[in-house]
Amino acid sequence: MKSPPLIRELVRATNTEAVLWRAEDLLLYEYDALSVMRQPEAVVFPTTTEEVVRVVGIAAQQGVSVIPRGAGTGLSGGATVAERGILIALSRMNKIVEIDLENQRARVQPGVVNLDLSRAVEDAGYYFAPDPSSQKACTLGGNVAENSGGPHTLAYGVTTHHALGLEIVLSDGDVIHTGAKFWDRPGYDLTGVVVGSEGTLGIVTEITVRLCRLPEAVKTLLAIFDRVLDATRTVAAITARGITPAALEMMDGFTLRAVEAATGAGYPIDSAAVLLIEVEGLREAVEEQAQAIEAVCRENSAREVRCARSEEERALLWKGRKNAFGALGRIAPNYYVQDGVIPRTRLPEMLEFTAEVEKRYALRIGNIFHAGDGNLHPLIMFDARDRSECERVVRAARDLIAKCVEMGGSITGEHGVGVEKNELMPLIFSEDDLEMQRRIKGVFNPSGLFNPGKVLPTGKMCGELRIQIGAGA
């Protein structure tokens, strides 16, 4: 089959091996970790900023949209094609360009895998703090696009707190640099504007990040509860004592039993919930904090508090937590994971509401979340072949997110908005707020060709759109 003119232009701009365009080659690029949308017209794998500029120029000439993509682990449809477009896969731009340990900085291309950066500097005593559950696969470019978090961002913050500077290709082909290696550069924080913009403002081709020192000591505790509400109340009680753990995670009994069956991590399958708590820092302070946390847990009816006795045991507990989504995937053909945020003091109320939603729609919901910062990840089990069940999943998800907003929270904490929640943005933003965001987008992306249909509302019925997403989850 002869390639169409657009493909020939892209091949000239890069090379033959860097462009996919046959239907069978594009199948893997129809979806991300959440949704199925449609096939791109082509997938291009640039290796340099200059190649990205050339591809963007071709897209502009042809009036074709451009969608940046990392590892495809996103959970909001952000790296999928909503309409006609070229997918720019940045996975081959995977070089660690510079490591500057004296200044605790690194300069990387967007295709570098999150965990690979930490592994590259761990022997020198450093690491990259944001640690999504997909950190073995997700890329730093994707982390920047979604402003990703993870279990340890309770103490250290999300990606925006660790991204110091960016190289960005704009829709007219210009290349700009924001931020710097040092903190508090004067002027507007354009780096902060672009982090979390999900590829709608520009394509990030290089990132300067902050590296953190590995702590002197780490303790990982597993608090075991016979009642879910006791576990949720313990979360607020820990922070009320002025203790900020490095991580504070929760799983309910349904979830932890699935995790234990899949990973054998050592979770007690007869419990109603567990808290996975980690403290780190100077050895003396860690011992003191661990003792204080154990006391709080027992005051709130924890039946047992275990401390990991070795690095192997600690790693196994975290393996279970970070593979929890996959473990639940063994129970049902499909699941739909939510990403709402609430004040952590309202966790007991939210868990009770989740149980009501579960009964109302005759669905099974597993609860796993970053309890310390109130970032919820209820996973709704379903079978995409059952249309009625898909529709109930959509309604249940909407109820959960609406409740988060009612409680003073947000529609997303770390998974982004994408096409999953763009029509829900009016729940938390006024029309004036949204118009200002549209104006900012227009400054960076006046043609509207960068990742169209994402983040901001389009006016489509969100129910129709989310059924499509749910059916392909």
Rounded to whole angstroms, how far apart are CA atoms 152 and 136?
15
Coil, helix or strand at residue 355? helix
Confidence (pLDDT) at 84: 82
**Alpha carbons 160 and 215: distance in angstroms, whole number:** 21
118-153, pLDDT tens digit by residue?
999 999 999 999 999 999 999 999 999 999 999 998
* Residue 17: per-residue pLDDT: 86
What three-state secondary structure class fits 164? strand
Distance CA 27, CA 309 (A): 46
Q: Which domains does the chain have, with CATH numbers?
A: 5-89 (3.30.43.10), 96-213 (3.30.465.10), 217-327 (3.30.70.2190), 331-471 (3.30.70.2740)
Q: What's the pTM value of the predicted model, to 2 decimals?
A: 0.93
Q: Give the pLDDT confidence score for residue 33 in this predicted structure.
A: 85
Q: Say if residues 34 and 61 touch (Cβ distance below 8 Å).
A: no
Closest by Cα among 200, 173, 190 to 68:
200
Handedness of CA 280, 286, 287, 288 (dihedral sign): negative
CB contact set of 88 (below 8 Å; sequence gap of 6+)? 44, 46, 52, 55, 66, 67, 68, 69, 203
pLDDT at 37: 73
Place of tokens 């939510």: 338
Q: How far is CA 129 from CA 90, 151, 153, 197, in A?
A: 22, 10, 7, 20
Q: Angle, nearest 10°, between helix axes 387-406 and 462-471?
A: 120
pLDDT of residue 471: 36
Residue 348 burial by Cβ neighbours in a 10 Å radius (0-12, 13-18, 19+): middle
Question: What's residue 2's pLDDT?
Answer: 53
Report the DSSP beta bridge partners of residue 306: 222
Nearest by Cα to 307 from 413, 222, 397, 404: 222
Q: Which of 214, 212, 216, 218 lies closest to 311 in space, CA to CA?
A: 218
With CA atoms as reference, report the closest residue to 302 among 354, 366, 238.
Answer: 238
Contact status, residue 101 vs residue 124, Cβ threshold 8 Å? yes
What's the pLDDT score for residue 470? 40
pLDDT value of position 124? 98
Residues in the chain: 473
Q: What is the pLDDT of residue 460?
A: 62
- Residue 47: name the closest of 208, 165, 205, 163 by CA: 205
* 44 bridge partner residues: 19, 88
Q: Which residues of the chain have pLDDT under 70?
A: 1-2, 182-183, 460-473
The single-letter code of the amino acid at 211 is L
Q: Helix 311-322 vs helix 253-263: angle between axes, to the nearest 10 degrees?
A: 120
Q: Which residue has the tokens 């040092």?
A: 182
Q: Measuring CA to CA, how many Å separate 273 from each of 9, 226, 254? A: 56, 7, 8
Residues 109/203, Cβ–Cβ less than 8 Å: no
| Residue 285, C-beta contacts closer than 8 angstroms, at least 6 positions apart | none
| Distance in angstroms (rounded) separating the CA atoms of residues 243 and 158 | 19
Contact between 374 and 347 (Cβ < 8 Å): yes
The H or E element containing residue 86 is strand 85-89
Task: For residue 378, list its beta bridge partners.
Answer: 367
